[in-house]
Amino acid sequence: MLSALEEPRVSLTDLPDKTVETPARESAATVIYVCTTCRRPEDPEDHPRPGAALAAATIQAAENSGVTVQPLRCLANCKRGCSAVLRSPNAWTYVFGHLDASTDAEALVKGAQLLSQSADGLMPWRGRPDALKRGLIARVPPLDFTESEG
């Protein structure tokens, strides 16, 4: 693992311009979207973006995991540092912020795997990596969600 001082030097041009599917499955159902433009307010404009570093690290961590990683520009969560979204069919979508580019890529992959294995479409709290407990910004219901009364 890298320390904060050894943050990987990744620029936006180092990242693939399309979805990166891991070799475990041709079309993974669960997707991790990672914002590549995230940066700290104190970072100069021309400094490599921590979001790009998180995207690159997540792509590497997801290798052979069955999870798809999709780098994208801006999740509009700028005040919360590095951000990512976990989405899976028929499941809740999770938005995370305050992620650390040098340590949280594996947490994103683990969270995506937990979500994809969930019977009720919710990522279980138990077993969820700490970064995904403290960095949770929102969860969004599936498109076909209806609140059951009773």
> What DSSP string runs through 32-95?
EEEESS---TTS-TTSPPHHHHHHHHHHHHTTTTT-EEEEES--S-GGGSEEEEEE-TTS-EEE
| Residue 149 belongs to a domain | no
pLDDT, the chain, mean: 83
Is 9 inside a domain boundary?
A: no
Return contacts of 73-80, CB within 8 angstroms, 24+ apart: 73/12, 73/35, 73/36, 73/37, 74/35, 74/37, 75/33, 75/35, 75/38, 77/35, 77/38, 77/137, 78/38, 80/135, 80/137
Residue 3 lies in a domain: no
Number of folded domains in the chain?
A: 1
Mean pLDDT value of segment 17-40? 68
Helix 105-117 / helix 50-61 crossing angle, nearest 10 deg: 50
Rounded to a whole number of angstroms, the CA Rg of the chain reads: 15
Task: Decide if 131 is inside a domain.
Answer: yes
pLDDT band at 16 (very low <50, low <70, confident <90, very high): low
Task: Tell me which residue has tokens 């609140």.
Answer: 147
In a domain, 96, yes or no: yes
Residue 3: what pLDDT? Answer: 37
pLDDT at 17 over 80: no
Closest CA to 1 of 87, 104, 130, 93: 104
- What CATH number does the domain containing 80 carry? 3.40.30.10
**pLDDT, tens digit (0-9, with 9 covering 90-100), for 60-93:** 999 999 999 999 999 988 888 899 999 999 899 9
Question: pTM of the predicted model, to two decimals?
Answer: 0.79
Task: Using the predicted structure, report yes or no on whether residue 19 has a pLDDT greater than 90.
Answer: no
- Residue 77 belongs to some domain of the structure: yes
Q: What's residue 130's pLDDT?
A: 97
Does the pLDDT of residue 30 top 90, yes or no? yes
* 93: containing domain: 14-136
- Kindly tell me if the per-residue pLDDT of 6 is higher than 70: no
User: Nearest-CA neighbor of 35 among 67, 81, 72, 61?
Assistant: 72
Domain assignment present for 47: yes
pLDDT of 23 > 50? The answer is no
DSSP character at residue 29: S
Mean pLDDT, to the nearest integer, of 98-118? 96
Asked, for residue 40, whether it belongs to a domain, the answer is yes
% of residues, the chain, pLDDT over 70: 80
Question: Using CA atoms, how far apart are residues 82 and 63, in angstroms rounded to an integer?
Answer: 21
